[in-house]
Amino acid sequence: MSFMAERLITDVGGMPAGDVPREEVPQLFWEKMMIAMFNVLWTKGIFNLDEFRRTVEQMTPEEYKASTFYGRRVDGMTSLLIEKGYISKEELNRRADDIFKSGSRDHVA
Amino acid sequence: MTPHEDHDDHHHDHHGHDHHHHDGHGHAPHPAREDDDVELTYEEARFLALKAMLVETGLITADEVMRRLAVNDLGSPHQGARMVARAWLDPAFKERMLANPKAAARELDIAVTEAELMVIENTPETHNLVVCTLCSCYPRSLLGEPPAWYVSKAYRSRAVREPRKVLREFGMDVPDSVEVRVHDSNADLRYMIMPLRPPGTEGMSEEQLVALISRDSLVGAAPLSAS
């Protein structure tokens, strides 16, 4: 077994890195709502934390690097819901496109 | 990871969705709405679509999400500060808090939603620092959302290798005579630090003490002083 082999992309402890960013970043309202929805789904047993973790660990290093904190949460939750058959990927993409094009948060449940 | 677990890093580097560029989007007609001054990103649009679909299928209700949001909003560094101030003043409470933090939190009407919680006491000989190297596990019920520095890859990487250097950058010089211990959190076990009570606070009320205790000191990343 080779030294340092098979390191997960999330396993950054001890790796070289630069300055720690100190800027305070306020949480946006949709991010709070998204975390709350994640908690509701998790509490209802729709998925568990290990499954969510797996979606993140499956990302390629490039995807992980380009991803954001809340983006990973949305993507992971979405792929689990598609995988489990609760929603269709095509419909989600279509509706997300529509909402994005409208530029409006109105008329959304 | 948390019930609120979390994976991750930079809060808001919203790049990576450039395939959906979009100009000239109109603002919603109700400017009073929260975050209406923030442009709708594709990430948010995807979340809004997802939520609408889950509500339509009956898997969740919008009300359940709002109720959970209200519960999550109760988590803030103020709660952790209340625990620590009480522990400084009441040795019996301190013993209970160190032995069973969730039960001690309940005494102060704080509900802890995380799996397991541990409170670690700083001493004149030992300084403690918390990190989550794999993601961003954090005792949210007691401290709220983790700060951006805590979830940054730089902090997760360096806190375990060069904690004294990181602490110095945070404005905290730990003398060589003091041992530094770093605690790596995970989904099943999260930590809060009980900082040393600063000298010069002897006559202070519990309320005054609460006001002194900063968020970062409860993670072990900032010193405390009497003013």
Q: State the CB neighbour count (10 A cutoff) for residue B160.
A: 19
- Domain, as residue range, for A81: 29-102
CATH code of the domain made up of B77-218: 3.90.330.10
Structure tokens at B87: 């522990």
User: Is A1 inside any structural domain?
Assistant: no
Per-residue pLDDT at B1: 42
How many angstroms separate the CA atoms of B215 and B143, rounded?
Answer: 7
Q: How many domains does chain A have?
A: 1
A14, A36, A44 ranked by CB distance to B161: nearest: A14
Provide ipTM, 2 decimals.
0.89
**Is residue A96 in some structural domain?**
yes
Secondary structure of residue A37 in the 3-state scheme? helix
- The distance of A56 to chain B (nearest Cα, Å) reads 8
Q: Give domain status of residue A8, yes or no.
A: no
Answer whether A21's CB lies under 8 Å from B148's CB.
yes
Check residue B43 and give its pLDDT: 92
* Number of neighbours of residue B14 by Cβ within 10 angstroms: 16
Q: Does B31 touch chain A (CB under 8 A)?
A: no
* Mean pLDDT of the A84-89 span: 97
- Residue A59 lies inside a defined structural domain of this protein: yes
Contact between residue B4 and residue B113 where contact means Cβ atoms under 8 Å apart: yes
* Residue among B25, B36, B43, B161 with most chain A CBs within 10 A, to mutate: B43
Average pLDDT, chain A: 89
Choice between B205 and A5, residue whose per-residue pLDDT is larger:
B205
Q: What integer pLDDT is reported at residue B36 of this predicted model?
A: 67
Q: Could you tell me if A19 and B52 are in contact, meaning their C-beta atoms sit under 8 angstroms apart?
A: no
Query: Does A66 reside within a domain?
Result: yes
Of A35, A76, A96, the CB nearest to B4: A35
pLDDT at A12: 87
Mean pLDDT of A99-108: 84
> In a structure prediction context, what are the per-residue pLDDT tens digits for chain B, which is 227 residues long?
444 444 443 444 444 444 444 444 444 444 445 666 788 999 999 999 999 999 999 999 999 999 999 999 999 999 999 999 999 999 999 999 999 999 999 999 999 988 899 999 999 999 999 999 988 889 999 999 999 999 998 999 999 999 999 999 999 999 999 999 999 998 889 999 999 999 999 999 999 999 999 999 999 999 999 98
Question: Given a cut of 90, is residue A5 above it in pLDDT?
Answer: no
- Residue A108's pLDDT is 64
Window B:199-218, CB contacts with A under 8 Å: none
**Residue A109 confidence (pLDDT):** 57
For chain B, the distance separating the N- and C-terminal CA atoms, rounded to the nearest angstrom, is 35
State the SS3 of chain B: CCCCCCCCCCCCCCCCCHHHCCCCCCCCCCCCCCCCCCCCCHHHHHHHHHHHHHHHHCCCCHHHHHHHHHHHHCCCHHHHHHHHHHHHHCHHHHHHHHHCHHHHHHHCCCCCCCCCEEEEECCCCEEEEEECCCCCCCCHHHHCCCCHHHHCHHHHHHCCCCHHHHHHHCCCCCCCCCEEEEEECECCEEEEEECCCCCCCCCCCHHHHHHHCCCHHHCCCCCCCCC
DSSP B154: H
pLDDT-above-70 percentage for chain A? 93
Residue to mutate among A81, A105, A106, A108, with most B CBs inside 10 A, is A105
Q: What DSSP string runs through B207-222?
A: HHHHHH--TGGGTT-S
Q: Per the domain annotation, does A53 fall within a domain?
A: yes
> A15 lies in a domain?
no
So where are chain B's domains? 77-218
Q: What CA–CA distance (Å, rounded) separates B58 from B35? A: 27
Q: Confirm or reject contact between A84 and chain B (CB < 8 A).
A: no
Q: How many CB atoms lie within 10 A of CB A100?
A: 22
Q: Across the interface, do A69 and B54 touch by the CB < 8 Å criterion?
A: no
Q: How confident is the model at residue A69 (pLDDT cuts 50, 70, 90)?
A: confident
* B186 phi and psi angles, rounded to 5 deg: -150, 180
Tell me the pLDDT band of A61, cut-offs 50, 70 and 90.
confident
Min Cα distance B204 → chain A (Å) is: 29
Q: For residues A91-95, give the mean pLDDT.
A: 97
Q: What is the pLDDT of residue B19?
A: 42
Residue B116 identity (one-letter amino acid)? E
A21 inside domain? no
CATH code for the domain in which residue A39 is found: 1.10.472.20
The string of pLDDT tens digits covering residues A8-22 is: 888 889 989 999 999
Pairwise CB contact (< 8 Å): B12 & A36: no
